[in-house]
């Protein structure tokens, strides 16, 4: 009996045949796989093998919850390889798991081609990075990667990238909002668009250069389509944009100095003719604003202050989505109800006292309705200012939202979270000593403005 018990004690996971171990691990959901892949090199090798994806999909097909992408945010990317040198980036990645309430190391992105460094967006298990004017899509779990055709000669800072992934059809769509131009007149650049009016689209199901059946779209260089629909007049693109319920809401800086959002209808491939302007603040000469999607709504995180110093941060919620001037929204409630509910509704002033441009802007405001939902508590605002202005690598706040949470990241040292359901603020726990050591080894960490979703479903074409 003692010999039998001793023999059982000597059996370990490492003694199991690899194919058996593969089948055992394939029964785990993605979130658990992310955790167990760090147990040992053997398990990590099995999970990242080419045959594991097919087996995992087969064994979890009966459970839709097991196949759901596991979302983590904020995502922090370390800019360089160990030692700070080399041409590959993001060897070490870290993100917060809100389900397990802990920081989790993400799969390494060192498999990206040299120089592919700038994170743009992520959705459906894919991440999008930019190198110069080329976009690259990758799946962190499977290490699949696809380079999209060059879109333009010059990339402007305020062009936003949006990604739509259809896992069932194994297809994706990339939408770039913002004017992209190139200044070369040589024949070698004839395959590039001379100027996107406002929107460029790449669809994986139509990789060859072809014109859309819609009269509002024209072919534009190597699979990209340029949409001829022009955005509303009188604004320039801001830094941020978000997708919500079939619309892309771009931060709009109007000529009158006010900030708002302009909406692009993805299905109809046209801009709405209304700019939703936020209420002005005459008591501030400094402003930061970020547009995010959270819980199926559009939110704007606003920071205002004086002389480059933020004195308050608050969050606005857009109550009217997809509204156009030709499709008026429901009438706002009486002013007494608005005051009780804290709703800010902008109404047009007397049009006779304005010029034509001013009149158009005021008419656009009549469909705008924002609610000031919450203010960052003063004690958290003080902490944020101390950390933000104390970190040399942090030039701006990183705002990221997913599910029911909006996160404000000040560099790598302070992460504030607002829960839209519980109407509460919290601070994410600090990194472990090991995480801090790894971050220092890899040259610091930079938070992204989008979450990372991990999934084995991969619609990329990996030739």
Average confidence (pLDDT) over 245-266: 89
Crossing angle (nearest 10°) for helices 50-59 and 18-25: 50
% pLDDT > 70, the chain: 71
Cα gap 179→154, rounded to integer Å: 10
Contact 124, 138 (CB under 8 A): no
Q: What is the pLDDT of residue 20?
A: 76
CA within 13 Å, CB half, 283: 2
Task: Find the distance separating the first CA and the last CA of the chain, reported in whole Å.
Answer: 57
Cα gap 146→247, rounded to integer Å: 26
Report the alpha-carbon angle 392-395-398, nearest 5: 120
When mean pLDDT is compared across 141-150, 284-293, 362-371, 404-413, the lowest value belongs to 362-371
Burial 1-35 (b: 16+ CB within 10 A, else e): eeeeeeeeeeeeeeeeeeeebbeebbebebbebbe
* Residue 10 in this model has a pLDDT that exceeds 80: no
Q: What is the pLDDT of residues 116-148, one digit of tens each?
A: 889 999 998 899 999 988 899 999 888 889 999
Please indicate whether residue 218 or residue 95 has the higher confidence score (pLDDT): 95
Q: What is the pLDDT of residue 344?
A: 40
Q: Is 311 left (phi over 0), alpha (psi -120 to 50) or beta?
A: alpha
Q: Is 408 exposed, middle or buried (0-12, 13-18, 19+ CB in 10 A)?
A: buried
pTM for the model stands at: 0.79
Q: What is the pLDDT of residues 72-116, one digit of tens each?
A: 999 999 876 544 445 557 888 999 999 889 998 888 898 899 888
* Residue 350 in this model has a pLDDT that exceeds 90: no
Q: What is the pLDDT of residue 126?
A: 93
* Residue 383 in this model has a pLDDT that exceeds 60: yes
SS3 state at 96: strand
Residue 453: Cβ within 10 Å count:
21
Q: What is the pLDDT of residue 158?
A: 81
């Amino acid at each position: 009996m003692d010999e039998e018990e001793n023999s059982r004690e000597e059996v370990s996971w490492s003694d199991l045949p690899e194919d058996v171990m593969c089948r055992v691990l394939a029964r785990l959901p993605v979130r658990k796989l992310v955790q167990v892949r760090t147990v040992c090199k053997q398990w990590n090798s099995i999970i990242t093998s080419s045959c594991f994806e097919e087996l995992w999909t087969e064994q979890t097909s009966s459970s839709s919850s097991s196949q759901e992408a596991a979302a983590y945010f904020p995502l922090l990317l370390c800019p360089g390889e160990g030692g700070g040198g080399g041409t590959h980036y993001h060897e070490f990645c870290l993100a917060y798991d809100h389900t397990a309430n802990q920081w989790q190391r993400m799969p390494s992105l060192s498999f990206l081609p040299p120089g592919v460094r700038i994170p743009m967006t992520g959705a459906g298990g894919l991440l999008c990075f930019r190198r110069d004017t080329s976009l690259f899509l990758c799946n962190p779990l499977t290490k699949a990667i696809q380079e999209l055709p060059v879109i333009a000669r010059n990339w402007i800072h305020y062009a936003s990238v949006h990604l739509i992934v259809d896992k069932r059809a194994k297809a994706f769509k990339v939408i770039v909002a913002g004017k992209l131009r190139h200044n070369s007149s040589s024949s070698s650049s004839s395959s590039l668009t001379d100027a996107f009016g406002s929107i460029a689209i790449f669809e994986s199901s139509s990789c060859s250069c072809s014109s859309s059946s819609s009269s509002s779209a024209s072919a534009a260089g190597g699979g990209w389509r340029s949409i001829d629909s022009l955005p509303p007049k009188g604004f320039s693109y801001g830094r941020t944009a978000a997708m919500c319920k079939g619309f892309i809401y771009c931060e709009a800086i109007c000529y009158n100095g006010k900030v708002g959002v302009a909406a692009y209808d993805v299905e109809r491939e046209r801009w709405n003719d209304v700019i939703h302007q936020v209420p002005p603040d005459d008591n501030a000469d400094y402003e930061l604003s970020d547009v995010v999607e959270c819980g199926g709504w559009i939110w704007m995180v606003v920071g205002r202050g004086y002389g480059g110093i933020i004195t308050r941060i608050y969050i606005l919620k857009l109550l009217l989505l997809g509204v156009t001037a030709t499709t008026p929204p429901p009438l706002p409630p009486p002013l007494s109800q608005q005051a009780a509910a804290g709703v800010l509704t902008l109404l047009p002033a007397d049009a006779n006292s304005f010029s034509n441009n001013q009149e158009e802007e005021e008419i656009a405001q009549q469909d705008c309705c924002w609610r000031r939902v919450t203010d960052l508590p003063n004690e958290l605002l003080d902490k944020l200012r101390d950390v933000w202005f104390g970190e040399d690598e942090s030039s701006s706040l990183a705002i990221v939202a997913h599910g029911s949470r909006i996160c404000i990241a000040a560099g790598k040292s302070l992460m504030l979270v607002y829960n839209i359901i519980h109407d509460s603020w919290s601070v994410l726990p600090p990194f472990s000593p090991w995480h801090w050591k790894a971050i220092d080894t890899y040259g610091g960490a930079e938070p992204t403005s989008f979450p990372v979703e991990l999934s084995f479903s991969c619609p990329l074409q990996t030739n």
